[in-house]
Amino acid sequence: MTKKAFIFDLDGVIVDTAKFHYLAWKQLANELGFDFTEKQNEQLKGVSRITSLEILLKFGKIQLSNEKKSALLKVKNKQYLGYISKMNENDILPGIKSLLLFLKKNNISFSLGSASKNARLILKILDLHDLFDAIVDGNDVSIAKPDPEVFLKAAKSLHKNPQDCIVIEDAKAGIQAANNAGMISIGIGKKEVLQEADFILESTKELTIDFAKKLID
């Protein structure tokens, strides 16, 4: 049996919830009186909910009390939950389900390593929750990516050494977190954003079983 294990990010790797985060943040920005572009949204990927709001408010040059910030986080999450409740198994990104089933069948352990506090709910909506050997999400960590905490906790849950863990990530902050943890990092997305990754794939379609086999050999 291989010593290696996989750690999957959620948003942008298992499912494209990034578009829903963007819509909900954009709506909030518009309500606060400024616009929010897709390019600006790149900086929110992979970072925690509160850090996302702080980055957004900086774009809008707005300062708010902590009380107002928590009220806005609730509004944004409500909006976001509205979008994700309409998802189903068809929203799982290409190649992911077959890869997870392959890993399961071959006793290769895998965990989730996500910044999202909605991660468990999303995995349940996608009917993937029970496949995972461990789930570490935004409720389990105190320091956001690029800090390695989330991935180190995932490795610990899987009883694996960091250097034997392969992290699949779509965000710059997530690749940095994987590298900071001393893990193998696979970036899904644009080269310009993910240049620090050990391997870069354009989309999850390239995350094939053959590619996974080469990583664990």
Closest by CA position to 180, among listed 201, 154, 151, 216:
151
Q: Say whether 11 is catalytic.
A: yes
Question: Does residue 47 bind ligand B16 (CB under 6 A)?
Answer: yes
φ/ψ (deg, to 5) at 215? -70, -30
Count of residues touching ligand B16 (by CB under 6 A) = 20
| Residue among 56, 119, 170, 178 that touches Mg ion (CB under 5 A) | 170
CB of 44 to ligand B16, least distance (A): 5
Question: Does residue 117 bind ligand B16 (CB under 6 A)?
Answer: yes
C-alpha torsion sign, points 121, 125, 126, 128: positive
Question: Does residue 21 bind ligand B16 (CB under 6 A)?
Answer: yes
Write the CB contacts of 175 (distance below 8 Å, at least 6 apart in sequence): 167, 169, 185, 187, 194, 196, 197
| Residue among 49, 153, 160, 172 that touches ligand B16 (CB under 6 A) | 49
> Please, which residue, 12 or 162, has the CB nearer to Mg ion?
12
Question: Does residue 166 bind ligand B16 (CB under 6 A)?
Answer: no
Residues within the interface to Mg ion (CB under 5 A): 9, 11-12, 46, 170-171
List active site positions. 9, 11
